Amino acid sequence: MAKNRNVLELVHGDDFVEYFIFPKYNFNNNEIELLNCLISNVNTFLEKYIRDYIWHRDQFNLIAKNANTLLNSNLEEMIPPHLYGITYYGDNIEDEWFIVFLLNQLSKEFEELVIRIIDNDGEFLLIEAANYLPEWANPETCSKRVYLNKGCLHIVAPEMDDDNEETISVENVINEIRKNPSVTVASRSIQACITKRIQGYPSSIKQNQHQTSVYVPIAVASILRVNPQLVSPAIQAFCNRDQIDMKACRAMKYFPPETRVLTSVRFTKCLYAMLINSKYQPERKTGWNLPPPSSKMFKAYNLGVKLACGFEILLSQAKIIAGNENDKDWKAYQQKLQEKGYFKGLLEHSKEYNQLLNKAKEYYAHYKESHFTNTSIGQELLKLLQSLDYNPEEFKKAEANLPGDDDDSWLNISPHELDKILEEQYGSERTLILNGETNPTQFTENLTTFLNHVSGLEGAEFPQKETDIPVRPPRGNKGNKGKKPIYLEETAAKVNFDPSSFACAVQNILNFAIPEDDSWDFDNDSDMSDYDMDENGTNGELNKMQELMDAMDKELAKTTIGKSFLKQEDAEGFEDIETFKPVNIDMNALKNILESYKSQLGEAGPSSNMLGPMGIHLNETKGDSSS
């Protein structure tokens, strides 16, 4: 269903949630009438939950859909008549989970309803319970198989002979849930994951809100008293302002600063954080006079300026005709249609292009009210402003009885609070110990072997045997993809190669010196003997490479980088300076690997992936990490 959806519906943004409510009706010719009646019943039931909720962007909304509606006309699969809604939640993901809560409550109240809910990630409810899914479940096999019914999550498993997932029918899945609910209901572990995520509602609605006093023009205070939800589009408009919007803020035609009153405003914590962290310096010639930042009232004045500017921006766009070239929402909508390939690469202003453009304009004009657009909100504001009758004296009297401001210390989080959040999410801190069978010496040898192993185009693979010497696979040969590595012992032609001689030759070339290693015979293997080397000149001056190395040593000598390494305990009793190693390389490697594994917090990562093929497994024990 997801990939067949009309492109006209899905170009508003990426952060959206879609919901489909399938009733159990015997439809004749009155499908839309019955569906609209159901919408009325649903809205009445959900009113007690939604009444005080402030949406970040779009509100929860439902429309009736059947085979004859515009929204279904381009679908390859004709699904049963249902109620459909789409909500763009923007930066506040709590809106998405609040909708899950609403639909779950709806499925409990109206037991005949089967409800599907997805977002831009697909069946996101299963992502929440990913650790408890059956083995067959993956993003491809679970598509169209996850529904809510009677307050429970249902997952319809594919049949053994169902090889083609594209042939799955939504209607058949719904019938299966209604016929065998005990078979399709998800396990208790999966149910618990979803319940845990939404169990805070509806009490958490108030916990996610922030109330504070602000100085705003009296018209803004009156609007928010009638419709507190309008605080959201005003903040969105202010935070996403451009230079054209700033012209409206300098004029303040609808909300002059001289009419300011003190009033209490409710925000979501997300909206409050957006507004208070948005930097804006108002112009004094507009009439904004703010107290100094050290004043207790500065925050109220500053927030009021930003909020008033947001409402001014919305009203400045109210008279723009939907689909007009001056409509910013239409321009953005048209641009996204272009990116989605809606116009099929047709020449602009051609007959076919204009037909598609007109269809898009009709859709935009018809359905813009159900989607979040500044133009439609501005028109609603303009009508509301014209109908309002407010009394300045009433607001002045109310200032004495305003509720106190909520504490906004939640904007700042301490390290202790962060640790507490991480512990609640991932469990208590764990220490890492090597299992009893692990030999640290063998560990470092295996690590060295891995680092010296030749990697191919498919990435690094840990050698299975010490005697196996891998060679690079031929470039561009995709036929060997997925096959095991090629080893020298399996090839007919063997290569006689002395790596130490080669390394010595390369070093001598870089140093412009005569090779000291007799095993590399230049007379037999190279024409280098044809060149005369000026021995006196070479020995008389340092080469560039040596100068660079000396400069690097001097630079590093001034730092404390050497203190970060684990050193040998006894550095005085060495006999051979050639073999002496002041830094314990093995211990440093082991230390760094363990620290890397610890930082994975028990999840998969590079350290565990590398240690696994070595046969090394780290045990986790709760306790102090310093032990």
CB 236 within 8 A of CB 309: no
Look at residue 357 in the predicted model and tell me its pLDDT. 86
Please say if the pLDDT value at position 97 is more than 80: yes
Position 331 in a domain: no
Residues 439 and 548 in one domain: yes
Residues 245 and 176 in one domain: no
Residue 280: closest CA among 315, 245, 326: 245
Average pLDDT of the chain? 78
Residues 229 and 301 in one domain: yes
Number of structural domains (the chain) is 3
Please say if the pLDDT value at position 73 is more than 50: no
Position 403 in a domain: yes
Look at residue 66 in the predicted model and tell me its pLDDT. 83
The last residue of one of the domains, among 360, 395, 410, is 410
Going by pLDDT thresholds of 50, 70 and 90, the confidence category of residue 197 is very high
Residue 256: closest CA among 231, 291, 289, 226: 289
Going by pLDDT thresholds of 50, 70 and 90, the confidence category of residue 22 is very high
pLDDT in tens, 580-599: 556 666 677 777 777 777 77
Residues 45 and 108 in one domain: yes
**Distance set, CA 588 to CA 229, 466, 566, 591, 592 (Å):** 58, 24, 6, 5, 6
**Distance set, CA 334 to CA 325, 341, 342, 349 (Å):** 10, 11, 9, 14
> Measured between alpha carbons, how far is 256 from 309 in angstroms, rounded to an integer?
10
Residues 382 and 492 in one domain: no
CB 429 within 8 A of CB 621: no
Concatenating the DSSP letter of every residue in 150-187 gives TTEEEE-PPPTT---GGG--HHHHHHHHHH-HHHHBPP
Dihedral pair phi/psi, residue 153, rounded to 5°: -90, 135
**CB-based contacts of 487: which residues, under 8 Å, 6+ apart?**
468, 469, 470, 471
Position 344 in a domain: no
pLDDT in tens, 103-149: 999 999 999 999 999 998 889 999 999 889 998 888 888 889 999 99
Residues 145 and 259 in one domain: no
pTM as predicted: 0.66
**Distance set, CA 213 to CA 30, 258, 298, 501 (Å):** 51, 18, 11, 79
Residues 384 and 475 in one domain: no
Position 282 in a domain: yes
Lowest mean pLDDT among 227-231, 304-308, 396-400, 437-441: 437-441
Lowest mean pLDDT among 185-194, 307-316, 537-546: 537-546
Residues 144 and 267 in one domain: no
Higher pLDDT, 272 or 350: 272
Going by pLDDT thresholds of 50, 70 and 90, the confidence category of residue 28 is confident
- Mean pLDDT of the 349-360 span: 85
Residues 176 and 280 in one domain: no
Position 138 in a domain: yes
- Mean pLDDT of the 509-530 span: 49
Higher pLDDT, 239 or 76: 239
The last residue of one of the domains, among 147, 167, 198, is 198
> Measured between alpha carbons, how far is 216 from 302 in angstroms, rounded to an integer?
10
> Measured between alpha carbons, how far is 503 from 508 in angstroms, rounded to an integer?
9
- Mean pLDDT of the 274-280 span: 95
Please say if the pLDDT value at position 460 is more than 80: no
Going by pLDDT thresholds of 50, 70 and 90, the confidence category of residue 263 is very high
Residues 285 and 314 in one domain: yes
Look at residue 627 in the predicted model and tell me its pLDDT. 41
Residues 405 and 494 in one domain: no
Dihedral pair phi/psi, residue 456, rounded to 5°: -105, -165
Look at residue 359 in the predicted model and tell me its pLDDT. 82
Position 343 in a domain: no
Position 352 in a domain: no
Higher pLDDT, 95 or 488: 95
Position 51 in a domain: yes
Percentage of the chain surpassing pLDDT 70? 66
Q: Which two tokens stand for residue 553?
A: 């040593």
Residue 58: closest CA among 324, 369, 366, 345: 369
Look at residue 464 in the predicted model and tell me its pLDDT. 58
Lowest mean pLDDT among 35-49, 57-71, 338-352, 486-500: 486-500
The last residue of one of the domains, among 170, 198, 226, is 198
Look at residue 600 in the predicted model and tell me its pLDDT. 72
Lowest mean pLDDT among 200-209, 328-337, 608-617: 608-617
Residues 110 and 187 in one domain: yes
| Parent domain of 26 | 2-198
Please say if the pLDDT value at position 217 is more than 60: yes
Going by pLDDT thresholds of 50, 70 and 90, the confidence category of residue 494 is low
> Measured between alpha carbons, how far is 105 from 616 in angstroms, rounded to an integer?
49
